[in-house]
Amino acid sequence: MDLFVSGDVYLDIVFTGLRRLPRPGEETWAPGMGSSPGGIANLAVAAARLGLRTGLGAAFSTDAYGEFCRDVLREQGIDLGPSRSFEDWHSPVTVSLAYERDRSMISHAHPAPARPGGLVGELPAATAAAVSLTGERLPWVRRAARAGTLVFANVGWDDTAAWPAAALDLLEDCHAFLPNAGEAMHYTRTDTPRAALRRLADRVPLAVVTCGAEGALAIDASTGEIVAAPAVPVEALDPTGAGDVFNAGFIAATLWQRPLRERLAFANLVAALSVRHFGGSLSAPGWGDIAAWRAATRDEAYGFLDDLIPSGDLSRARRAMATIARLPDAA
H/E element holding 39? Answer: strand 32-39
**For the segment 174-205, what is each residue's pLDDT rounded down to a tens digit?**
999 999 999 999 999 999 999 999 999 999 99
Taking each continuous run of H as one helix and of E as one strand, the counts in the chain are 9, 14
Cβ contact 49:286 at 8 Å = yes
Confidence of residue 331 (pLDDT cuts 50, 70, 90): very low
**For the segment 244-276, what is each residue's pLDDT rounded down to a tens digit?**
999 999 999 999 999 999 999 999 999 999 988
Measured between alpha carbons, how far is 240 from 282 in angstroms, rounded to an integer?
10
Residue 61, strand partner residues:
86
- Of how many residues is the chain composed? 331
Domain boundaries, the chain: 3-308
Confidence of residue 323 (pLDDT cuts 50, 70, 90): low
- CA neighbor of 242 nearest in space, from 286, 279, 208, 206: 279
Cβ contact 9:37 at 8 Å = yes
Q: How far is CA 113 from the centre of its chain?
A: 22
Is this prediction's pTM over 0.85? yes
DSSP letter at 79 equals B
Measured between alpha carbons, how far is 86 from 216 in angstroms, rounded to an integer?
39
Residue 16, strand partner residues:
32
The distance in angstroms from the start CA to the end CA of the chain is 37
CA distance to 31, 96, 159, per residue, from 102 (Å): 16, 10, 18
What is the per-residue burial (b if ≥16 Cβ within 10 Å, else e) of 60-90? bbeeebbebbbebbeebebbbebbbbeeebe
Measured between alpha carbons, how far is 61 from 149 in angstroms, rounded to an integer?
29
Cβ contact 284:320 at 8 Å = no
Measured between alpha carbons, how far is 246 from 43 in angstroms, rounded to an integer?
8
Asked if pLDDT for residue 283 goes beyond 90, the answer is no
CATH superfamily of 3-308: Ribokinase (3.40.1190.20)
Asked if pLDDT for residue 52 goes beyond 80, the answer is yes
